């Protein structure tokens, strides 16, 4: 085992325990709800876990025997068109599904708080995201009146915004398969259909959260190649923008603190991803290794391209963004300090408790399917070697679950269950991505395919070559040079041409003029 693989294997062990626990806990709750008892559910969970491992093994045994060619531009365009059709089709389907259900928004408290009344509209809520959502809903009522259609229209607009924001953010961080998986569960899972039809700030929060995830995922690109002055200025402004966005997400809800997990993971793994990319796309002329390439890219950006500077810059900007949002809120009256204290008091830890969805035993079919998909990543790691994306989503989910158990989430925000659900769908998408990683079949190299190239600069190889020559011809004889057969075709032999003009030429004619 290589030492540099030990951290990945330890993280994989944590993920395997996390995914296995989620699957067995889900089957236990389902078994108890169906009247079979907890032990029957645990046994079913173990069987499903073993079946997922067998499925991964069989799939990779089949794909290892197949020949895969590199995608050309035409195939890439076809996949992009197919991806676009899936995005548009999913968006139409999720809107149609929600409009097919009856809406009863007039009975919700948000509708009564935001509607236009003779007494005017002015409120101060402890939950800042809910307060901002009420102002937004009130703005729709100003244009369309106190109608249910206005609230439904706002929900549809926010749904479309959250759909695209999450899709492109997760796609930038974890790839298109994970993004499509999240969109499928967001649009069609019964739990998410129910949550997104409530007049709550969930969809508004997801818009900014998706933007923050995408911005964090693009940080490694901004950290490299800072040769010119405007590149450096743009990079620093980008760091500040990402930090402000993170601070605003924390202002909307405490769930925004999970963005620190993605910030840490992306920055710490940025250089390693650069090495992988340089190995795939080739390096500039004169650069002989990924390390030399990274050194050349950062020779003029030692400070601006360092992980410590980027992390500190984003963190400081996040704090300033959070305080600045409270400062803007307190313009109408009050102080920023009082606003910050009022919000943090809402998230103070309370008594340790188990989330209510586990206690009541209500689990939809999609939760069981989601847990099964998550378990695929525990086996797919040994074929793909990918653990970074699953680890970030896993640590974010564990952090959010711990906050729920200690009472640090808000009841106005459904205790963050919808965001935790989306974290799990992202983990499932990363696990499905592992199934699509296949090993390419070895390429035949012709006559020289079995030849080993010896490094003639290494002194050990030179000594071994001299010893082999000395043992062949004796100790006193001169070393014998063993030539190899030239694999290249030999040049054609030169044959002189004879000129024949079919007429006699005098012997004394020397062709002088």
pLDDT of residue 257: 94
pLDDT band at 478 (very low <50, low <70, confident <90, very high): low
Same domain (yes/no): 426, 473: no
Q: Where are the alpha helices (DSSP H) in 65-127?
A: 73-100, 109-114
Transcribe 215-272 into DSSP letters. HHHTHHHHTS---SHHHHHHHHHHHHHHHHHHHHHHHH-GGGGGHHHHHHHHHHTHHH
- Residue 123 lies inside a defined structural domain of this protein: no
pTM of the model: 0.77
User: According to the model, what pLDDT value does residue 441 have?
Assistant: 43
What domain range includes position 471? Answer: 455-482
411 and 463 both lie in a single domain: no
- The answer to whether position 50 is within a domain reads yes
Residues 430 and 473 in one domain: no
pLDDT of residue 359: 43
Query: Residue 96 CA to chain centroid, in angstroms?
Result: 29
pLDDT of amino acid 317: 95
190 in a structural domain: no
Residue 358 sits in the same domain as residue 421: yes
Give the pLDDT score at 275: 43
pLDDT tier at 60, thresholds 50, 70, 90: confident
Residue 143 located in a structural domain: no
In whole numbers, what is the pLDDT of the chain averaged over residues? 78
Residue indicated by tokens 């032990």: 39
Distance between CA 186 and CA 425 in Å, rounded?
9
- Residue 257 placed within a domain: no
Distance CA 215, CA 208 (A): 10
Q: Quick one: pLDDT at residue 1? A: 42
Q: Decide if pLDDT at 477 tops 90.
A: no
183: enclosing H helix or E strand: helix 176-188
Reported confidence tier of residue 210, pLDDT bands at 50, 70, 90: very high
SS3 379: helix
Give me the phi and psi of 222, to 5 degrees please. -80, -20
What pLDDT, on the 0 to 100 scale, is given for residue 4?
A: 54
In the chain, how many domains are there? 2
Among the listed ranges 269-273, 274-278, 386-390, which one has the minimum average pLDDT value?
274-278
Q: Is residue 13 part of a domain?
A: yes
Determine the pLDDT at residue 475.
46
What are 162-197's pLDDT values in tens digits?
A: 999 999 999 999 989 999 999 999 999 888 888 899
**365 and 403 housed in the same domain:** yes
State mean pLDDT over 476-505.
Answer: 65
pLDDT at 28: 85
Share of the chain above pLDDT 70, in %: 73
For 371-386, write each residue's pLDDT tens digit: 899 988 888 887 777 7
Q: Crossing angle for the helix pair 202-217 and 259-268, nearest 10 degrees?
A: 10
| Same-domain pairing of 433 and 460 | no
359: Cβ contacts below 8 Å, ≥ 6 apart: none
What pLDDT score was predicted for residue 453? 39
- Can you read off the two tokens belonging to residue 195? 């949550």
398 shares its domain with 428: yes
The reply to whether 413 and 460 lie within a common domain is no
409 and 383 together in one domain = yes
- Please check the confidence at residue 21 and state whether its pLDDT lies above 80: yes
Residue 262 confidence class, pLDDT cut points 50, 70, 90: very high
pLDDT digits (tens, 9 = 90+) for 76-111: 788 888 999 999 999 999 999 999 988 888 888 888
> What is the C-alpha radius of gyration for the chain, rounded to an integer number of angstroms?
32
pLDDT surpassing 90 at residue 313: yes
Q: Give a yes or no: residue 84 inside a domain.
A: no
pLDDT in the model for residue 63:
64
Encode pLDDT of 399-455 as tens digits. Answer: 998 888 888 888 777 778 889 999 999 999 998 888 776 554 444 444 443 334 344
Least confident range of 1-10, 17-26, 154-163: 1-10
Distances in Å between the alpha carbon of 440 and those of 72, 94, 182, 390, 443? Answer: 16, 38, 29, 24, 9
Q: 359 and 427 share a domain?
A: yes
Instruction: Determine the Cα–Cα distance for residues 124 and 329; give it in Å rounded to an integer.
Output: 10
Contact 310, 219 (CB under 8 A): yes
**Contact (Cβ atoms closer than 8 angstroms) between residue 239 and residue 313:** yes
Domain finish residue from 374, 409, 437 = 437
268 found inside a domain = no
């Amino acid at each position: 085992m290589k030492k540099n693989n030990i951290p990945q294997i330890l993280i994989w062990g944590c993920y395997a325990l996390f995914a296995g626990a989620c699957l067995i806990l889900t089957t236990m709750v389902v078994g108890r709800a169906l009247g079979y008892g907890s032990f029957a559910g645990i046994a079913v969970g173990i069987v499903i876990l073993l079946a997922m491992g067998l499925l991964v093994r069989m799939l990779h045994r089949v794909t290892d025997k197949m020949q895969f060619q590199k995608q050309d531009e035409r195939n890439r365009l076809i996949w992009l068109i197919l991806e676009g059709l899936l995005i548009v089709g999913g968006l139409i389907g999720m809107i149609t599904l929600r409009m097919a259900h009856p809406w009863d928004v007039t009975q919700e408290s948000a509708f009564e708080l935001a509607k236009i009344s003779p007494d005017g509209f002015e409120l101060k809520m402890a939950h800042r995201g809910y307060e901002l959502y009420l102002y937004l809903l009130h703005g729709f009522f100003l244009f369309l009146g106190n109608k249910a259609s206005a609230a439904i229209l706002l929900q549809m607009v926010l749904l479309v915004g959250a759909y695209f924001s999450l899709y492109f953010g997760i796609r930038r961080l974890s790839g298109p398969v994970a993004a499509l998986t999240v969109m499928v569960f967001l649009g069609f899972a019964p739990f998410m259909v129910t949550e997104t039809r409530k007049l709550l700030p969930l969809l508004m929060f997801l818009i900014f959260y998706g933007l923050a995830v995408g911005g964090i995922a693009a940080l490694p690109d901004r950290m490299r190649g800072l040769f010119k002055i405007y590149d450096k200025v743009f990079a620093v402004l980008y760091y500040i923008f990402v930090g402000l966005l993170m601070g605003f997400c924390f202002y909307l809800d405490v769930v925004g603190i999970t963005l620190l997990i993605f910030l840490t993971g992306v920055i710490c793994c940025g250089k390693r991803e650069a090495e992988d990319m340089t190995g795939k796309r080739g390096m500039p002329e004169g650069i002989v290794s990924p390390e030399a390439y990274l050194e050349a890219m950062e020779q003029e950006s030692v400070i601006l391209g360092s992980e410590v500077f980027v992390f500190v810059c984003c963190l400081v900007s996040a704090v300033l963004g959070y305080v600045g949002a409270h400062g803007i809120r307190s313009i109408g009256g009050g102080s920023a300090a009082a606003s910050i204290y009022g919000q943090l008091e809402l998230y103070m830890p309370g008594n340790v408790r188990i989330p209510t969805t586990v206690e009541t035993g209500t689990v939809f079919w999609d939760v069981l399917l989601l847990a099964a998909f998550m378990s695929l990543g525990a086996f797919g790691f040994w074929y793909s070697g990918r653990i970074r994306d699953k680890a970030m989503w896993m640590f974010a989910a564990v952090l959010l679950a711990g906050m729920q158990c200690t009472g640090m989430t808000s009841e106005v925000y459904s205790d963050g269950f919808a965001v935790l659900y989306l974290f799990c769908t992202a983990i499932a998408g990363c696990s499905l991505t592992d199934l699509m990683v296949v090993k390419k079949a070895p390429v035949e190299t012709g006559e020289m395919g079995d030849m080993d190239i010896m490094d003639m600069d290494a002194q050990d190889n030179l000594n071994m070559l001299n010893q082999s020559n000395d043992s062949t011809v004796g100790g006193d004889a001169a070393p014998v040079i063993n030539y190899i057969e030239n694999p290249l075709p030999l040049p054609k032999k030169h044959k002189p041409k004879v000129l024949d003009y079919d007429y006699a030429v005098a012997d004394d004619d020397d062709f002088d003029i």
